[in-house]
Structure 1
Amino acid sequence: MSLGTLFGESETRSILPVGLVKAFKLDVKLEARGSAAHKAAGFSTEKVPAFLGPHGYKLQESVAVLFYLVNLHDPESPLLGTDLETKAQVLKYISWGTAELMDPLTNIIRVLLARIPFNKKLLDTSNTEVDNYVVELEKRLVNHTYLVGERLSLADLFVASCFYRCFTLTFGKKWRSSHPVFMRWFNTVAATEYLSYFFDNVKFIDEPVAPPKPAKKEKKDEPKKAEKKAEKPAAAAAPEPAPEPKKVKHPLAELGNPTIALDEWKRVYSNKDTRKEALPYFWNTFYNDDEWSLWRVDYKYNDELTLTFMTNNLIGGFFNRLTGSTKYMFGCAVVYGENNNNGIVGAFLVRGKDSAPAFNVAPDWESYSYTKLDASKPEDKAFVDNMWAWDEPVVVAGEKKEIADGKVLK
């Protein structure tokens, strides 16, 4: 009887689970993420790796799937550690890998593969974080062959697989030659039966991949003006002072002032009970369909989120980059779910009828999707109330998810 189906293929967190199935020769079917079988399995998200066992048993999250697969083969496998201390160390490294190490690695992937608008500061910061993590690993590896004890474990296998994309994007020849300790460890681990199926086919780059360049606007050729012969001036004219650069107005400033100032709503929201006083004021007194619009905002990459506090920091960074538009908008974004299974959603009030002029001041605004809400629909109105009150669970794919954290843009 089949032991089940593993969903995931070449995604970074799926490399090792697939390798375990192959090396252990487990009777587990391999299916790609997003395949018909994956969709039919009924997982709440398409996050991989994911495992579907007999009798509808479902399992997601890298750490859980890895431990389950090893235990299917041998509950006493030394890959898990050989005593309480080493088992705890293995768990520590895997948890660190999927939560902390993958965060800057994911940022690098998204920037260099143009999945988000180019952000030099984000790329530089993430590269520095990764280099610092490598330095920390080398402090252990300079005197030891492996991360835990003196034998190969899941800690080595998983952490090494996390660096996959670096070797195709940022770890060029120069970087590799300057990190002999790290490379000795990585090459040793990548050559094992658990990872060689994958890394034997990965071509390492010679030079780091250059960041994507924004498309240049073509300049229209202007007809040359006929040159006039200048008469000899009586005296050289004094140079005119350069005009001061005009301050660029926010596009929403063209709409003029609303009937009720936005600051008045923000003051009510900050000082009154949200359900009893603030929201009734908003709907009955402040909101005007002719002057404002309401938007649901969803993060596009929830499957890449890890710890809830880090997700909330992501919202904070997004809000900081929206500072240029705070005169024209208000909203809340919340983190729903739990560690390693969470998402971002929010409701926003925007001056005018379009979301773009308010949100596109943030370089990463395209990492979110924007759905216009209709204040005349009870379900849309209830969604706004719940987002701004934070006292009801968020419904995602028909399932209620508790709000873990959030931030207010005002």
Structure 2
Amino acid sequence: MSGKSVLYSNFRIRSWVPRALVKYLGLNVEIVDPYSEEAAEEFAKQFPLKKLPAFLGPRGFKLTEQMAINHYLINSSRDEKIKGQLLGEPTDIETQAEILRWESLATSDLIVFLVRVFQPLVVEGVPYVKKDVDAAWKVVDEITGIYEARLREKTYLVGERITLADLMSATAFTRGFNYLFGTEWRKQHPSIVRWFNTVTAGEILRDEYRDFKFIDEPAKPPQSVNKKKEKKKTAPEAAPAASKPKPEAQAKPEAEEKPEEPKKPKHPLELLGKPSFVLDEWKRKYSNEDTRPVALPWFWEHYNPQEYSLWKVDYKYNDELTLTFMSNNLIGGFFNRLSASTKYMFGCLVVYGENNNNGITGAVMLRGQDHVPAFDVAPDWESYSYTKLDPSNEQDKEFINNMWAWDKPVVVDGTPREIADGKVLK
């Protein structure tokens, strides 16, 4: 790596591995806090979405997304032995693929569902919805079960040395150990604990974990939730027949009672009322039936254009996309950030093309006729363009069918481009 580069990073765990790699590999990269007084303006200018970590090379080369930055930094090293250890030897494509597999599982699944569990428990303003937290916990259990089974048989996730798979996975597990994985959980997952301690005590990550401590008890639901449950469970006892309540035991006048907190405003799309087209029924049909012969004909038979609208969604910065799996992870992150609107939406975004020459497009149905209330819950929604589709137009209808069936190439500027990957929003 020639010339001075800049890595923008902060306290969030997604910045830890890139920052640790810069130091461990001895790269000519300045580590900068993007929100410091000296750097804030330049950071916003170079990276308008303000996503972290972010990398700026000496010739204007820019990267976001932790996985992409990690691979770039490691490949910038001149130490072939270290590169082979962290990423897999160039001739060992199976090991390389295994490392990428665990990196992806950590960033696309593990950390996402950990956040869905702990944020409602510890972050003020994030609503606690028990069924949603329980559903996320179930996924966390499944993923950690995969890790425990793997590490019961192996010292590290891939091979016999620390790789990027271990670094990425360990930092993802950190938030679990911060808030959720107390003493009892650790007793049930001894292999994960042994591995986590080994990786975080290693030369690469140990500076990031000098003050790290395990918790004894996991975070609990907010106190207000517990009080409401207690109130429902405990019925008021009847006063004994022969006794009279003492004056001081009488209830306080209603005027002195603490007023209830105002209810959180409903999602704006909730105000549109209950539609006749049952979105959950369509989602089940799409998931369980063959798409072309069964699901799509059912959809067009039941779709109500007065209640729902259809939109073509295109990523604005296709020229910045590199590997197709990274583009697909970008879609996954976007869909996760749309979670507040998922009950009003359905659709697919796909990655078309090949590595270093790909794009993102798709078709999404949403409640109402305006796309903004559905999409603006995601901080990065303006990274995409939105074009309303007309289902009575055969070309538009064919595009929707193709996006939801994934069985035909995407036509871009008159050229067919094969679909490499994609994700479903449902």
Q: Under a length normalisation based on structure 1, what TM-score does the superposition of the two structures give?
A: 0.59
Aligned to 2:180: 170
Distance 1:96 1:143 in 2: 19
Return the alpha-carbon distance in structure 2 between the equivalents of residues 348 and 317 of structure 1.
13
Report the AA paired with residue 331 of structure 2.
Answer: T
Match of 1:106 in 2: 115
Q: After superposition, where does 1:105-184 map in structure 2 within 5 Å? A: 105-112=114-121, 113-114=123-124, 116-184=126-194
- Superposed, which structure 2 residues align to 1:51-130 within 5 Å? 51-73=55-77, 74-77=79-82, 78-82=85-89, 83-84=91-92, 85-112=94-121, 113-114=123-124, 116-130=126-140
Deviation of residue 169 (structure 1)? 0.7
| Cα deviation code 1:276-296 (max 9, x no counterpart) | xx9xxx9xxx8xxxxx9x9x9
Counterparts of 1:251 and 1:153 in 2: how far apart (Å)?
50
Q: Counterpart in 2 of 1:221?
A: 253
CA deviations 1:26-55 (Å, max 9, x no partner) are: 221112345333212235x22222210011
Q: Which moved more, 1:49-58 or 1:75-84?
A: 75-84
**In 1, are the aligned partners of 2:151 and 2:192 still within 8 Å (CA)?**
yes
Distance 1:70 1:307, change over 3 A: closer
Please give the alpha-carbon distance, in whole angstroms, between the structure 2 residues aligned to 1:220 and 1:98.
53
Output the amino acid matched with 2:151: L
SS of residue paired to 1:163 = helix
Match of 1:47 among 51, 65, 69: 51
Deviations 1:347-392 (A, max 9, x none): 97769xxx99xx9xxxxx99569xxxxxxxxxxxx96669996979
Q: Which structure would you say has the larger RCO, counting Cα contacts within 8 Å and 6 or more residues apart?
A: 1
2:12 corresponds to 1:6: no
Aligned-CA RMSD value: 5.2
Counterpart AA for 1:54:
P
1:177-196, aligned counterparts within 5 Å?
177-196=187-206
Once the 2 structures are TM-superposed, how far is the Cα of residue 64 of structure 1 from its aligned partner? 1.5
State the 1:316 CA deviation. Answer: 8.5
The 5-angstrom pairing of residues 191-210 of structure 1 reads 191-210=201-220
**Which secondary structure does the structure 1 equivalent of 2:10 belong to?**
coil
Code of the residue aligned with 1:125 in structure 2: it is: A
Per-residue deviation at 1:315? 6.0
Deviation at 1:5, TM superposition (A): 0.8
Identity of aligned residues (%): 31
Q: Any conservation in 1 of the 2:272–2:368 contact (CA below 8 Å)?
A: no
Pairwise CA distance, 1:71: 1.8
**Structure-2 separation of matches of 1:42 and 1:387:** 37
Change (3 A) 1:76 1:337: same
More helix by share: 2
- Aligned pairs, how many? 316
Distance 2:168 2:425 in 1: 33
Which SS does the other structure have where 1:118 is aligned? Answer: coil
Query: Does 2:41 align with 1:36?
Result: yes
Aligned-partner SS, 2:7: strand
Amino acid at match of 1:60: T
Residue 311 to residue 342, structure 1, CA distance change in 2 (3 Å): farther
Unaligned runs of 5+ in 1: 224-249, 254-260, 264-268, 287-291, 297-304, 323-330, 360-364, 370-381, 393-403
- Contact 1:173 1:206 (8 Å CA) reproduced: yes
1:26 aligns with 2:22: no
Partner of 1:17: 18
Superposed CA offset, 1:255-314 (max 9, x none):
xxxxxx999xxxxx9679x9xxx9xxx9xxx8xxxxx9x9x9xxxxxxxx9463685588
Question: In 2, distance between residues paired with 1:407 and 1:154?
Answer: 29
Report if aligned partners of 1:19, 1:195 keep a CA contact under 8 Å in 2: yes
Which letter maps to 1:41?
Q
